[in-house]
Structures are given as C-alpha cells and as structure tokens.
C-alpha cells in the first residue's frame, strides 16, 4: 500500500504520540515547512530560477532528566515515528542533567505575531527576475558588471508542540539579496552589497544597483595604504552587524555565561560599553526577520533591555539555561535563521537574541564623517568576525576610504583593521542614524577610536 503524504502538523502530533509509546516521559516537536524561491546570477546573467519546498521535524525526548534530539525530513507517518523512537532511544543513553527536568509549560503571548508579507507569499518567478534585472541594469548603466548574485524570498510556517500542552503555530517571511560587482580597468574595482528584510518592499533594485556601481568604481582607483594609522574607524551597518553577532550575541547568552565562555560573565549591572550604546532584544519590531510572539520552544517572547547606556542589563535565557539559575526562560530559544529558510528543523536550539536592535544616534554618517580629522570608513570586510571569547579581530578590508579633515581622501585596498571589539565598545565616538536590517541585528553605522589600520607596505 502506498504511503500517504501528510502535513507537518499531523506528523508532529504523531511523533509526540510515538515518543510516549516508546517510553519518553516528555517530548517536544518543532515542525516546520518552508517554501523558498531564488534567482541566481552567474557570469553577469540570470542562470537559475528555482523553487524549493521542505518540511521536517526536530524531535526532543526526555527520560527523567536525560535529553536527546533527532531531526529528520518528515513527509510520511513512518518518518515521524522513526524520528520519535530514535530520540527516545538516545535519551535513554544520554547523561542526566543536574537541573533540567521539563520542557516549557503553556503560557499566553504578550507580543503580536511576527511579520508576514503577502507579497512574498504570492511572488512569482517572473516578479523576482524583473527585480534582479533592474539591479543588474542599474549597475550596467554605470559601466559596472554584476558577475554573481542571488535574490531569495521565503515563507516559513513553524509549529511547536510538547507533552506539557504547548501548542504554538507561527509564520514568517524573509527576503535576502547579495550581489558582487566588478568595474573593469587596469586595477579592477570590486563592490559587494546585501539586503535583508521580512518585507519585499524593502528591496530597492535600482538603489542597490547604483550603490554596487559606486562601490566598484571607487575601488577601481583604490591605493594601498602607505603606513599604519590610528584614528576614528567608522564601520557600516552590514559589517558591524556581523561583528556584533559574533561577539555581543554570545556574550549575553546564558549558555556562554554558564560555560564561562562569556567575557561579560558576572558583569550584569556593570559598565561594558560607552554610554552611547543601547541595545534591546525586541521581538515586537516589525522589521525583525525573526520577530515573533513565541520563541522556537513555544515560550512567549518579551522586549528585553540588553545594554542600557553602556550598562549590561540582562542575559538571555532559553529553557535549559534558565533551569541552571532557576529562572524563568526569557523566550530566547532559537532555531530559525534570518537569511535562509531551508532545513530549519536541522538547526540545534540556541540561546540567542530574537531581534537585537541598536538604538540609533542623531547624526547621519555623512555628518559624522565631516567631523573626523583623520580616519577610515569601512564599507566591506572580507569576513567580519570577532573572537567571541576575547573580542580580538584582524579583518581584511575589501572596500574602505580614508577621511582627512572631514572629507574623503581616497579609496584604500590591501589593508587590515585590527583591535578588540569589547574594548572598542567603550570607545565609541558616535552612533549613526542609518538603522539597517542586517539579519537578526538592526543597527546603524558606528564610529570607534582605538582600532589600528595596517597597510601592505
């Protein structure tokens, strides 16, 4: 007899039932279905337009205080039952937790549902192709090629059920785009730009193409830095967002604190940054790609102060790490990702912000630059990551320019910017007003003192 394909909610309920029959004392199912539509640019042309659908289950089972997780694509009843049985078997063989003895209990939401864009839901391939063509065309009008790129939109429907009665269904949308540009010449110039939002209206094709071209044309005339320099370094939102995601996010995670990996362990209520820095975790913000009424364990989310005028306000807790301190979870058990919707059921649960928002300042980046005596404005790093343990970094510059006496004084290449971000947070010169969505961080440009710019000569 041919197996019948089932919807993911039905499969999740079957998995819970199967876990109980297999001997689990408690069980939880994170069930998700996503539809992703993508347009890819390769060698300056649109080469691939595809639509992918996936659905699956992440199953957590407990036997007493022993916990295990198994994930699987789930289409048929046997998929769900097998996932539940294996999770229960692994729980029997897992070490016992000292503090964690139950999955979250049901609790009503206090925040609104996350953003859902009907335009993304109904987007057709031709709609996306037209947007990509407009971006490529805007760059081409300025003599710049776009050799690689992607525009991706997705819908995500997630469900969390557990044997304690949690029954949560949520949905969200995302748009992500990334393009490389090339301006030909004796010394070719590169441009890289990204866009990320839960709303397709935030994709501005002509503006992206123009900015791509501007970056590439400026970089074509870039010079190597003659000597090391110290001065103000202003970092653009996209690069800054990734730097904060690899430093502050782990630092405020209760998991990092408990494992003594956070440099801010034991510093709650202490000064960790300049008074110019304020950060909240705001799951109610409609700009947030992961904003939602519940986290991915079914715990209601809340708006939480993380850093208030430089003072560390609180750590973030999922249900497991909250049990260590015998606190209530703060709604920060996360599986979903801001730039990719595929195979989310494979993601391990992480103790992380839902939507980290850096409060903007009053001055525009241009105004901040006009007051810089000497410094560098970084538009792109090759790979902007920071050590989550020490804050140290040494980042290769892909697009940046020198500022002298308040004015741009030439594009630079083959440079490194080095420093310590945790120290740098205490030496913030200015926070801009150009708030930008960069994955699960919304922030403006930030200018620092104390970083070193090292050239290749």
Burial class of 82 by CB neighbour count within 10 A (0 to 12, 13 to 18, 19+): middle
Residues 388-419 have pLDDT tens digits of 999 999 999 988 999 999 999 989 988 999 99
| pLDDT of 107 higher than 80 | yes
Whole-number Cα distances in Å, 440 to 154, 203, 281, 289: 16, 17, 10, 6
Percent of the chain exceeding pLDDT 90 equals 92
Per DSSP, 345 falls in state: G
Q: Averaged over 305-314, what is the pLDDT?
A: 98
Per DSSP, 253 falls in state: B
* Residue owning tokens 């199953």: 59
3-state secondary structure of 179: strand
Tokens of 309: 């005028």
pLDDT of residue 100: 97
Tell me which of 103-107, 186-190, 421-425 is least confident: 186-190
Q: Averaged over 260-286, what is the pLDDT?
A: 98
- Which pLDDT band, with edges at 50, 70 and 90, does 456 fall under? low
* Residue owning tokens 């200015």: 430
Q: Averaged over 428-435, what is the pLDDT?
A: 98
Residues 46-66 have pLDDT tens digits of 999 999 999 999 999 999 999
**Contact status, residue 11 vs residue 31, Cβ threshold 8 Å:** yes
Residues 219-236 have pLDDT tens digits of 887 888 878 888 899 999
pLDDT of residue 390: 96
| pLDDT of 457 higher than 80 | no
C-alpha to C-alpha distance for 446 and 234, rounded to whole angstroms = 6
**Contact status, residue 359 vs residue 435, Cβ threshold 8 Å:** no
Residues 127-159 have pLDDT tens digits of 999 999 999 999 999 999 999 999 999 999 999
Residues 342-360 have pLDDT tens digits of 999 999 999 999 999 999 9
In order, the DSSP letters of 271-334 are B-S-TT--EEE-TT-TT-TT--SB-TTSPBP--EEEEETTEE---B--HHHHHHTT----S-EE
> What domains are there in the chain, each with its CATH number?
8-219 (3.30.2290.10), 222-454 (no CATH)
| pLDDT of 434 higher than 60 | yes
| pLDDT of 45 higher than 90 | yes
Across the chain, what does the average pLDDT equal?
96
* Residue owning tokens 């997630």: 158
Tell me which of 256-265, 332-341, 412-421 is least confident: 412-421
Indicate left, alpha or beta for 269 from its phi (over 0: left) and psi (-120 to 50: alpha): left
pLDDT of residue 1: 60
| pLDDT of 23 higher than 90 | yes
Beta bridge partners of 412: 223, 400
Q: How many CB atoms lie within 10 A of CB 45?
A: 10
C-alpha to C-alpha distance for 61 and 163, rounded to whole angstroms = 10
Beta bridge partners of 150: 40, 178
3-state secondary structure of 365: helix
pLDDT of residue 228: 86
C-alpha to C-alpha distance for 366 and 131, rounded to whole angstroms = 29
C-alpha to C-alpha distance for 441 and 244, rounded to whole angstroms = 8
Half-sphere exposure of 286 (CA within 13 A, CB side): 6
């Amino acid at each position: 007899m041919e197996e019948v394909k089932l919807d993911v909610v039905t499969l999740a309920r079957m998995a819970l039932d199967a876990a109980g029959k297999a001997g689990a004392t408690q069980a939880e199912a994170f069930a998700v279905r996503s539809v992703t539509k993508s347009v890819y640019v390769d060698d300056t042309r649109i080469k691939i337009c595809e639509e992918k659908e996936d659905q699956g289950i992440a199953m957590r089972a407990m036997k007493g205080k022993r916990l295990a997780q198994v994930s699987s694509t789930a289409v048929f009843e046997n998929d769900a039952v097998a996932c539940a049985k294996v999770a229960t078997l692994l729980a029997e063989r897992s070490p016992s937790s000292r503090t964690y003895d139950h999955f979250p209990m049901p609790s009503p939401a206090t925040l609104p549902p996350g953003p859902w864009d009907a335009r993304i839901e109904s987007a057709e391939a031709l709609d996306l192709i037209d947007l990509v063509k407009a971006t490529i065309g805007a760059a081409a009008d300025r003599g710049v090629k776009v050799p690689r790129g992607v525009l991706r939109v997705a819908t995500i429907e997630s469900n969390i059920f557990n044997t304690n009665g949690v029954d949560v269904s949520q949905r969200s949308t995302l748009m992500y785009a990334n393009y490389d540009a090339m301006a030909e010449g004796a010394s070719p110039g590169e441009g890289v730009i990204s866009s990320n939002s839960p709303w397709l209206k935030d994709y501005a094709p002509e503006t992206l193409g123009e900015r791509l071209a501007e970056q590439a044309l400026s970089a074509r005339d870039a010079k190597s830095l003659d000597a090391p320099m110290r001065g103000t370094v202003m970092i653009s939102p996209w690069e800054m967002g990734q730097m904060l995601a690899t430093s502050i996010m782990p630092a405020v995670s209760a998991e990092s604190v408990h494992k003594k990996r956070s440099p801010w362990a034991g510093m709650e209520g202490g000064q960790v940054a300049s008074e110019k820095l304020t950060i909240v975790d705001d799951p109610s913000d409609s700009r947030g790609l992961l904003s939602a009424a519940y986290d991915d364990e079914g715990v209601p989310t809340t708006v939480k102060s993380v850093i208030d005028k430089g003072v560390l306000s609180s750590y973030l807790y999922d249900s497991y790490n909250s049990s260590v301190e015998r606190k209530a979870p703060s709604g920060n058990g996360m599986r979903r990702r801001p730039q990719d919707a595929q195979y989310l059921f494979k993601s391990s649960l992480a103790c992380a912000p839902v939507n980290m928002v850096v409060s903007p300042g009053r001055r525009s980046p241009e105004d901040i630059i006009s007051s810089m005596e000497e410094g560098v404005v970084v538009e792109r790093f090759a790979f902007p990551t920071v050590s989550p343990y020490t804050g140290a970094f040494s980042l290769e510059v892909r697009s940046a320019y020198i500022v002298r006496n308040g004015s741009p004084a030439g594009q630079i290449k083959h440079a490194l910017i080095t420093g310590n971000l945790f120290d740098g947070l205490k030496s913030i010169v200015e926070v801009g007003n150009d708030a930008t969505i960069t994955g699960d961080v919304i922030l403006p440009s930030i200018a620092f003192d104390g970083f070193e710019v090292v050239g290749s000569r």
